[in-house]
Structure 1
């Protein structure tokens, strides 16, 4: 009955969240279903097991959610994202429209801009480029997803994405874990995605298919759509409803000023991770008032948080006069972080209840018994959970909360570098999470004015199959050569 309860609770969570129900209510309800089937104490698991895990996630990762959402909103309202998009458009033009859209998305998201901010700002640019080049509108979501939701989210060394931050406390790693493997994976994702989209573009031209009807960009309507909002807030760290708040400026900054905050994010993150933190005296962390804890458990979050904070100061300093109402932009950015972290924390709470059930031993044994070794087991676990929950961050945290200590022990027994486990876990979460019910997919299609039946196949090829191929290559290389 316990295993049946786990399946029933997970099925309830997946089905009703796809229907647009709030995960804030669904996750504890599904957790109670799991506990009920196992004849476990309901109130204890809700108020202790569930809430302790959810609160722990918030305590650990809220700085990154808060600063990431704030940075993205300030980059949007300062006009910096628009300036970067225009720069890429001018340099590559309509002849390379597909490449311009992909690289624009990659630049801003690797620099720390929230995914949904990138969607809302880059979609109009993509529509103009694709329209001028005669590329079908239906390929816009795939191009934007390739640039924003694949290698810059899960593979590029040092990416400030929340997915790249989640494994750090579990494995004691930095944002730059397994940099060589990450770069190889990024090249595979980008190369395969561009090849597929170029092939799709050529076939469309041969068939005489043009851009189609020039529709107004529905960003405002998408941002206020409750169904989109409920799905979106479990998949990325920005509440779409806040996209229409704040006060955007009317004159984008010079391109150097627009790029500067992105450079600061990457540079400070690298400096903190590899130079400053390893040399700091953090012996005070052993005191009872701090846990006690160790640097490896908090260093990664510190690095990303300081990098984002430095970038926020930079974007405000360089664009202070371009903000019509700085406080409104700051408020909108801060507010945009609240619902996403509560939603993901609720998923984490659900996962903690599942892991506490006696029947979970069957699930754990099944995962660990998958052929191919621990790297394959870890990849499968994060893939499946991210796909079921429609959330890379939620699925990844559930997997590591329940199986992280086991995988760390296995890594020690097999002599596997935790950095390799980190990279595979993050990449595993960034593949099947892009299923049709994923909030980012739903939002992206809506912003581009496309339907699933028109665009999802090409989107899946670029944002699911490509990352899966890269994941397989990294597992093979990691198994043979270890982490590098």
Structure 2
């Protein structure tokens, strides 16, 4: 029991400091090594060097280029004016009277095209504020609306999403980002329909009380002037290129390089072996994002180049922070997984007989504790992927299904109050947890429920 309390206390401490706004990069090793200290003090130095740092560096090695290219891609989309053009086009197509649907679709298009959810918040908020004001919808409903469009189905449910939450499982299950497309689509439809129903219900409640947009708000954006925006079809092209080429490269890379690739450097004697099957999905996303960036530059070089230096500094800094936060949590998870207390937790989870429900509960629980979809999933898969795979093989479940369930589960309870994206969203919109978190939490619950809907859909139909 003592070992169990130590493991849980380390998780609780990390959640507490994250909620209080302290750096996870600093406190993840503190929490992990504190647990080691209380278990076996002599193991603190070797666990730090040989477990925490090894796992942290391994994560950065695999995923930092994805974080970096994704951040740069999102920034050039922003600098080029393409994001504004897409927003304006969707609003014109759907109609201003369907304000909430318009904002959800805009967020969905941008995130599915590879734009970071943080960039989406900054890009969409000014339009959302103006539309909500004109429609007389309370401003406090904006965060829930943006969360539905940006933090849910396009992030990890729809097949082919280039977001990191859909990429991490590829290295554990040797799948690709298009894994289990039917399950992803089914989950996305559920989230979209139930989420929009909820938001419209909240809007009608407010209207019945005579509540409008409100006054005295903070961080109110200036209304956009009638500026000349790029052609929306051109603005969409980079997003389409990323999605299509990601799928093309996934098939082409293994054909070009084989299952493994060997090379011997000049003057070297021992060949360097690369297991292509494990990293083909990552290479595909990186290559697609590179082409997406180049596509933006082809059509908007003059506009982007004027602010490229300063803009990319911010993008690089953001990608470093995001990747190091997640890598630190990854190292934390590796240490906790090596402690006796975690074996008690793992054994308890093993008591759940269904491997998909086991995986879903494990991933979403850890994502909630860490306040990070990528962090929670990384911890869970680093510790228990082999167990999930063995259980899947024993019950005849394809690894593609494991991929989709893990990916969607990571975006379940991750958006608890201490989640970085939630804190950013509220800060940008000038609202507080008390004013708007209730709607974000409702979206969080809908997203979590969708995972179990997807699992039921798989067992009922056999489709994946």
Q: Report the Cα distance in structure 2 between the residues aligned to 1:84 and 1:339, rounded to whole angstroms.
A: 28
**For each residue in 1:383-417, what CA deviation from the matched residue of structure 2 results, as whole angstroms up to 9, or x when unmatched?**
10000000000000000000011111111121110
Q: CA RMSD in A?
A: 1.8
Q: Return the offset for 1:123.
A: 0.5
* Contact 2:359-2:405 at 8 Å conserved across structures: yes
Instruction: Choose the corresponding residue for 2:429, options 448, 454, 468.
Output: 448
Q: Report the Cα distance in structure 2 between the residues aligned to 1:426 and 1:346, rounded to whole angstroms.
A: 20
Counterpart position of 2:325: 343
**For each residue in 1:12-49, what CA deviation from the matched residue of structure 2 results, as whole angstroms up to 9, or x when unmatched?**
21111211111111011111111012115101111211
Q: Report the Cα distance in structure 2 between the residues aligned to 1:394 and 1:164, rounded to whole angstroms.
A: 13
**1:277 corresponds to 2:278:** no
Counterpart position of 2:26: 25
Q: How does 1:221-240 map to 2 (within 5 A)?
A: none
**1:105 corresponds to 2:82:** no
Range 97-106 or range 449-458, more displaced: 449-458
Change (3 A) 1:330 1:3: same
Counterpart position of 2:37: 36
Counterpart position of 1:126: 128
**For each residue in 1:411-462, what CA deviation from the matched residue of structure 2 results, as whole angstroms up to 9, or x when unmatched?**
112111000000000111111001112111111112122222222222222x
Counterpart position of 1:177: 179
Q: Return the offset for 1:194.
A: 0.6
Moved over 4 A (4+): 286-291
Gaps of 5+ in 2: 265-269
* Contact 1:84-1:258 at 8 Å conserved across structures: yes
* Contact 2:111-2:120 at 8 Å conserved across structures: yes
Q: Report the Cα distance in structure 1 between the residues aligned to 2:183 and 2:192, rounded to whole angstroms.
A: 14
**For each residue in 1:46-100, what CA deviation from the matched residue of structure 2 results, as whole angstroms up to 9, or x when unmatched?**
1211000000000011111010011011111111111111112222332111111
Q: Return the offset for 1:170.
A: 0.3
SS in 2 for 1:442: helix
Q: How does 1:392-407 map to 2 (within 5 A)?
A: 392-407=373-388
* Contact 2:143-2:436 at 8 Å conserved across structures: yes
Q: Report the Cα distance in structure 1 between the residues aligned to 2:173 and 2:307, rounded to whole angstroms.
A: 42
Q: Report the Cα distance in structure 2 between the residues aligned to 1:178 and 1:385, rounded to whole angstroms.
A: 23
Counterpart position of 1:366: 348
**1:466 corresponds to 2:446:** yes
Q: Report the Cα distance in structure 2 between the residues aligned to 1:383 and 1:64, rounded to whole angstroms.
A: 23
SS in 2 for 1:285: strand
* Contact 1:420-1:483 at 8 Å conserved across structures: no
Q: How does 1:49-448 map to 2 (within 5 A)?
A: 49-213=51-215, 215=217, 217=219, 252-273=229-250, 275-282=251-258, 285=261, 292-323=273-304, 324-371=306-353, 373-448=354-429
SS in 2 for 1:433: coil
Q: Return the offset for 1:332.
A: 2.6
Q: Report the Cα distance in structure 2 between the residues aligned to 1:261 and 1:108, rounded to whole angstroms.
A: 11
Change (3 A) 1:423 1:219: farther
